[in-house]
Amino acid sequence: MNMAEPLSFDDLRGPWRRDEPMARHVSWRAGGRAARYFEPQDIEDLQRLLRATPAHEPVLFVGLGSNLLVRDGGFRGTVVCLHSARLHAELEGGVVRAPAGVAAPKVARFAALHQLAGAEFLAGIPGTMGGALAMNAGCYGSETWALVSAVTTIDRHGRLRRRPKSDYEIGYRHCRLKEAHEEWFLGAELSMPAGNAEQARARIKDLLAKRIASQPLSLPNAGSVFRNPPGDHAARLIEACGLKGLARGGARVSEKHANFIVNPKGTASAADIEWLIVEVQRRVLETTGTRLVPEVRIVGEAP
C-alpha cells in the first residue's frame, strides 16, 4: 500500500508512528499496517490530533483490538489507541466513571471492590469500555448499556459532549447515535445498585472459570465472531454444520468453541481469517437457512 505522507503534528505530546503493523495491536495478531498510529497522552492531546486531521482522513479508535480485523492492505488513515494511557475507573456520587480506554475486566473488579452489583459480567469482556459501548458487548445474559446512564464523546473537531443514554438506539450487540454525527466514546457513567463485595468477587471468579473452560483463550482470537441468532447460538449452528477445525492458511475454526476463529501459530493473514468468516456464513446459511451476522469489525484495504 502506498502510505500517505505524515501529517505535521508538532504540538502532540503522545507518540505517533507511520506504517504501524496493526498485528501488534489486535488480538488476532494478524493484518495490515496503519498509515498513522497515535497514542494520546490525555484528552487535550487527542483534541489536538483530531483538529489537525483533515476531514477526509479516516480515523479509527482502537482499545485492545479484541474485536477488530485490519485487512492485509492496511488502513489508509489514523489509528488512535486509547488503551495506551494509564487509566482507571473512579467512583463519584455512587456512579462509576469508566474511561473508554480502561479494560472492561478492571471495571468489573473496581465495582466489586466498592460493593456495587451488576458489573461482574464485564470480567468476561476481553476489550475496553469504549469497545463494549460501541457494540453493547455482553455475556452470560448481561449487556453493557444496561449499566449506562450517560456517556462522554468527542467528535472530529475535538468537541466534547455528555450524552444521556436516550440519545442512542441500543440493541443486541448494537449501538447507534440517533443523530447523524460522527463521534467516539471517551467514557461512560455507570449506575449500579449496592451489592456485596465478596459475592461479586465470587461471581467474577465463576465467570472467568467458565470462560477458561469453554473458550480457546491460549490462542490468538477475537472472541465470538458471530452474533447469536434469536433463540439460538452461533456456536451450535457452526458445530452442527461440521465446521469445527475448518482451516485456511494459518487460521482455523476452533475445535474448543465453534464461534471462535484462532491463529494458533501467529501465521494467519487477515485474508485467511476473513475467508473463514465468509465461508462459515455461507455454509451455515446453505445448511440451516440462518444468516450469521459478524460481531467483529473488518476495516482496511485488500492487498
What distance in Å separates the CA atoms of residue 68 and residue 274, rounded to the nearest whole number? 11
Q: Rg for the chain (alpha carbons), in Å? A: 19
Choosing from 36, 71, 173, 252, which is the catalytic residue?
A: 173
Q: Nearest to residue 161, comparing CAs of 47, 39, 38?
A: 47
Q: Would you call 39 a catalytic residue per the annotation?
A: no
Which of 27, 66, 84, 224 is an active site residue?
A: 224
Query: Are the beta carbons of 299 and 68 closer than 8 angstroms?
Result: yes
**Can 44 be counted among the known catalytic residues?**
no
Phi, psi of 164 (to 5 degrees): -75, 160
Q: In Å, what is the CA distance from 95 to each residue of 85, 92, 98, 155, 192? A: 22, 5, 9, 24, 7
At residue 69's C-alpha, the angle toward residues 169 and 79, to 5°, is 80
173 catalytic per annotation: yes
H/E run at residue 272: helix 270-288
CA distance 243 to 13: 48
> How would you classify the pairing of strands 148-155 and 75-81?
unpaired
Closest C-alpha among 254, 252, 243 to residue 282: 243
Return the active site residues.
173, 224, 295
